[in-house]
Amino acid sequence: MQQVTERVPGAEAGALAERIAALAERRRDAIRRAFTRLHPVALGCGVGAVAALALLGGTLLLVMRGGLRVGANLQALTSYFPGYRVDVAGAFVGGAWGLAVGFVAGFGIAAFRNLALRVVLVHARRSADRWRRRHLLDEI
């Protein structure tokens, strides 16, 4: 920044320096927003709530519709969720299972994303440090 403003005369140099500083601050804010960590408990609760409502609502909707074979596709979930049935009581058991499985899935996604982000940032920082050491004499 100093090299650029040295070539610009007087008041224009101050305005240019302010614009460059504002641009650098906007860039830092954009990078900070892009690399913000996800909160695992918050994402787990959100995904769990959506999964619970979907399973509960879907089961109750099928029970209200009725028919010969109520929820034939949802019957497959009885293999994975003990206590789940396609009836009113089973809908609430399924909602609890949906909450639990959704929470674990959301927590795992957030934790994996945060870990991957940390690995990428450590690699980027090490690469930048190597580049600075390699070009140290260029800046003197």
Q: Do 64 and 43 share a domain, yes or no?
A: yes
Q: Do 131 and 75 share a domain, yes or no?
A: yes
Phi, psi of 52 (to 5 degrees): -65, -45
Query: In the numeric block, which tokens belong to residue 85?
Result: 């049935």
With beta carbons less than 8 A apart as the criterion, state whether 84 and 24 touch: no
Inter-CA distances, 68 with 26, 28, 30, 139, Å: 62, 61, 56, 80
Q: Which residue type, as a one-letter code, is found at position 99?
A: L
With beta carbons less than 8 A apart as the criterion, state whether 13 and 5 touch: yes
**pLDDT value, residue 18:** 87
Q: Do 43 and 64 share a domain, yes or no?
A: yes
- Closest alpha carbon to 124 in 26, 52, 34, 39: 34
The alpha helices in the chain, defined as continuous H runs, are: 2-6, 10-34, 40-65, 88-134
**pLDDT value, residue 7:** 58
Q: Do 65 and 128 share a domain, yes or no?
A: yes
With beta carbons less than 8 A apart as the criterion, state whether 74 and 93 touch: no
With beta carbons less than 8 A apart as the criterion, state whether 51 and 98 touch: yes
Q: Do 21 and 42 share a domain, yes or no?
A: no
Q: Do 46 and 30 share a domain, yes or no?
A: no
Total domain count, the chain: 2
Q: Do 66 and 103 share a domain, yes or no?
A: yes
Full pLDDT tens readout for the chain, 140 residues: 455 545 555 667 778 888 888 888 998 888 888 888 899 999 999 999 999 999 999 999 989 988 778 778 888 888 999 999 989 999 999 999 999 999 999 999 999 999 999 999 899 889 988 988 888 877 66
pTM of the model: 0.72
Q: Do 58 and 104 share a domain, yes or no?
A: yes
25: domain range? 1-34
